[in-house]
């Protein structure tokens, strides 16, 4: 048995601030499939997933039905856009004027109406594994989850340059005792977890302490300590045989890489942006998260996930139209407009895929919860909308169509599995790529179909 005091003394050699990077790890398998070459046509270097947690209403955003009855269409009007004969919600004027940059997919669909299970599907493309006879508590995050897109990418295409494969911000999706599944590497182990930022980039005091060395610790001194630690670890047979020590060593590798990566540290210096640019994104948590996401993409992070607000922000059972009109839609509209303008002007849009989606949509029919007086909409996964842009996607088009009340697709539907497959395809991951489950069995990673109309412009 490994002496716990021995591990602690080794850790003291790393007396550096690396909280959030060196979390406890589980043993994980090495990849059997490397994705070093890109299939023909792939051109994305990064993917930004803008997660609208809670599920925005398709009728009140991207798929309005002005001819439907009032109890279906709701309180908002529709406005024309840069795409002839295509309308969006009146409270998305900046998006409407830039819709030639975007493709709207109006026929997203799956079968899960529960927030936690639907989030796992949205972020992994797979159903949440729940033990037979399990309760609601078995729906929360666990190491039995399938890895999310960033974690799976890190498994098949690991990095050694100190730049994390995935970064999620500005908060982990937790509510009380519930932690949303699909946010980490699941059964692949903590080595492949995305790096999680739990700070508000709009806070004047925003900084990421995990990337800062203590004042008395120079980069050269850190490297010297790393060399000493490696020598001690290699010379101890008991350590080399202990799976806990191996897992901790993997986390040390991640920590050292991040602490010595000037590009990543510089990306978090959001205070270096001009006041004019920061104001264009919106001086709120979401707008500044998009600005920080752009900086991370510039630094070379392949997968960035920006969550708007906190968990279930878009869960508008009550006061759907008030919340959308006063906060959610204006912040979304402003932030996305600034993001797309910056990506276009810098040339990054050609190599950055941007996806805006929730875990599902909202019911076509307006409802009022018991004990409430202000109406809203309930959960609806049978049809919802998403936005796609960049990295070869043909903007200025609508993919898919729903019925007269936006309840069901009347054309080909697309699933989160298709979204994941499209992401991996765009990043150049071979179709045969696989990950290993806890029993070391290969699982085919690309489990859907490439959403080819996004790239061809022909639905």
Task: Look at residues 124, 46, 96 and name the one whose alpha carbon lies nearest to residue 293.
Answer: 46
Query: What is residue 217's predicted lDDT score, i.e. its pLDDT?
Result: 40
Query: What is residue 250's predicted lDDT score, i.e. its pLDDT?
Result: 53
Please report, for residues 182, 236, 329, the alpha-carbon distance to residue 369 in angstroms, rounded to integers and kept in the order given.
29, 63, 23
Query: What is residue 2's predicted lDDT score, i.e. its pLDDT?
Result: 34
pLDDT tier, 26 (very low <50, low <70, confident <90, very high otherwise):
very low
Q: What is the DSSP letter of 51?
A: E
Please indicate, yes or no, if residue 418 is contained in any of the structural domains.
Answer: yes
What are the b/e assignments for 193-213, b being 16+ CB within 10 Å?
bbbbbebbbbeeebebebbeb
Query: What is residue 309's predicted lDDT score, i.e. its pLDDT?
Result: 72
Please indicate, yes or no, if residue 250 is contained in any of the structural domains.
Answer: no
Query: What is residue 144's predicted lDDT score, i.e. its pLDDT?
Result: 92
Please indicate, yes or no, if residue 435 is contained in any of the structural domains.
Answer: yes
pLDDT tier, 452 (very low <50, low <70, confident <90, very high otherwise):
very high
Please indicate, yes or no, if residue 450 is contained in any of the structural domains.
Answer: yes
Query: What is residue 15's predicted lDDT score, i.e. its pLDDT?
Result: 36
Q: Are 38 and 161 a contacting pair, CB within 8 Å?
A: no
Query: What is residue 244's predicted lDDT score, i.e. its pLDDT?
Result: 52
The string of pLDDT tens digits covering residues 290-311 is: 999 999 999 999 999 999 877 7
Whether residue 403 has pLDDT greater than 80: yes
Q: Lowest-pLDDT range, 62-76, 99-113, 130-144?
A: 130-144
Residues 6+ apart with CB under 8 A from 92: 61, 79, 329, 332, 333
Q: What is the DSSP letter of 325?
A: I
pLDDT tier, 130 (very low <50, low <70, confident <90, very high otherwise):
confident
Task: Look at residues 85, 107, 108 and name the one whose alpha carbon lies nearest to residue 401.
Answer: 107
Q: Lowest-pLDDT range, 215-219, 270-274, 450-454?
A: 215-219
The string of pLDDT tens digits covering residues 187-216 is: 999 999 999 999 999 999 998 765 544 445
Please indicate, yes or no, if residue 89 is contained in any of the structural domains.
Answer: yes
Percent of the chain with pLDDT over 90: 71
Query: What is residue 264's predicted lDDT score, i.e. its pLDDT?
Result: 85
* Paired tokens of 243: 């799976």
Domain ranges, residue 153: 39-203+275-456
Query: What is residue 160's predicted lDDT score, i.e. its pLDDT?
Result: 84
Residues 6+ apart with CB under 8 A from 318: 369, 372, 374, 375, 376
Q: Lowest-pLDDT range, 131-135, 296-300, 420-424?
A: 131-135
Report the distance separating Cα 284 and Cα 281, nearest Å. Answer: 8
The CA angle 270-272-275, to the nearest 5 degrees, is 90
Please indicate, yes or no, if residue 82 is contained in any of the structural domains.
Answer: yes
Please indicate, yes or no, if residue 100 is contained in any of the structural domains.
Answer: yes
Query: What is residue 459's predicted lDDT score, i.e. its pLDDT?
Result: 64
Residue keyed to tokens 């998006």: 95
Report the distance separating Cα 175 and Cα 104, nearest Å. Answer: 30
Q: Is the dihedral of CA 310, 58, 450, 126 positive or negative?
A: positive
Per-chain mean pLDDT for the chain = 84
- Which whole number is the average pLDDT over 151-177? 93
Whether residue 444 has pLDDT greater than 80: yes
Percent of the chain with pLDDT over 70: 78
Query: Which CATH number covers residue 368?
Result: 3.40.720.10
Task: Look at residues 63, 44, 49 and name the one whose alpha carbon lies nearest to residue 355.
Answer: 49
Whether residue 11 has pLDDT greater than 60: no
Whether residue 35 has pLDDT greater than 50: no
- The C-alpha torsion from 257 through 258 and 262 to 267, rounded to 10°, is 150
Please indicate, yes or no, if residue 249 is contained in any of the structural domains.
Answer: no
Residue keyed to tokens 């047979």: 237
Pairing, β 46-51 against β 352-357: parallel
- Which whole number is the average pLDDT over 213-242? 54
Whether residue 146 has pLDDT greater than 90: yes
Q: What is the DSSP letter of 409?
A: B
Query: What is residue 121's predicted lDDT score, i.e. its pLDDT?
Result: 97
Report the distance separating Cα 50 and Cα 125, nearest Å. Answer: 16
For the chain, the domain total comes to 1
Whether residue 422 has pLDDT greater than 60: yes
């Amino acid at each position: 048995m490994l002496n716990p005091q021995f591990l602690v003394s080794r850790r003291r050699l790393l007396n550096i601030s690396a909280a959030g990077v060196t979390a406890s790890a589980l043993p994980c398998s090495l990849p059997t499939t490397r994705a070093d070459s890109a299939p023909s046509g792939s051109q994305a270097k990064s993917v930004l997933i803008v997660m609208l947690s809670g599920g925005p209403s398709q009728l009140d955003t991207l798929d309005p039905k002005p001819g439907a009855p009032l109890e279906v269409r709701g309180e908002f009007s529709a406005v024309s856009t840069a795409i002839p004969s295509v309308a969006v919600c009146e409270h998305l004027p900046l998006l409407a004027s830039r819709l030639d940059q975007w493709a709207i997919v109006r026929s997203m669909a799956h079968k899960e109406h529960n927030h936690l299970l639907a989030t796992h599907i949205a972020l992994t493309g797979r159903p949440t594994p729940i033990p037979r006879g399990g309760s609601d508590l078995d729906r929360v995050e666990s190491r039995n989850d399938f890895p999310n897109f960033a974690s799976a990418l890190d498994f098949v295409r690991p990095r050694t340059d100190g730049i994390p494969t995935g970064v999620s911000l500005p908060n982990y999706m937790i509510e009380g005792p519930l932690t949303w599944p699909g946010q980490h590497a699941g059964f692949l182990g903590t080595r492949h977890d995305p790096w999680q930022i739990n700070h508000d980039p709009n806070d004047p005091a925003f900084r990421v302490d995990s990337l800062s060395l203590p004042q008395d610790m120079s980069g050269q001194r850190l490297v010297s300590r790393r060399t000493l630690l490696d020598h001690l670890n290699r010379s101890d047979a008991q350590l080399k045989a202990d799976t806990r020590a191996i897992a901790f060593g993997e986390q040390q590798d991640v920590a050292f890489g991040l602490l010595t990566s000037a590009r990543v540290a510089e990306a978090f210096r959001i205070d270096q942006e001009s006041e004019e640019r920061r104001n264009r994104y919106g001086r709120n948590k979401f707008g500044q998260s998009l600005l920080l996401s752009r900086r991370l993409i510039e630094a070379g992070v392949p997968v960035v996930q920006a969550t708007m607000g906190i968990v279930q922000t878009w869960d508008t059972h009550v006061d759907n139209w008030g919340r959308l009109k006063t906060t959610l839609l204006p912040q979304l509209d402003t932030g996305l407009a600034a993001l797309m303008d910056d990506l276009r002007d810098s040339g990054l849009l050609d190599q950055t895929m941007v996806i805006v989606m929730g875990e599902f949509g909202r019911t076509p029919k307006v409802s009022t919860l018991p004990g409430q007086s202000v109406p809203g909409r309930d959960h609806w996964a049978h049809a919802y909308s998403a936005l796609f842009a960049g990295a070869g996607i043909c903007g200025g088009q609508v993919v898919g169509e729903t019925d007269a009340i936006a309840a069901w697709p009347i054309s080909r539907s697309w699933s989160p599995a298709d979204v994941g497959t499209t992401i991996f395809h765009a990043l150049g991951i071979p179709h045969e790529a696989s990950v290993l489950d806890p029993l070391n069995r290969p699982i085919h990673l690309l489990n859907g179909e490439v959403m080819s109309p996004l790239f061809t412009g022909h639905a």
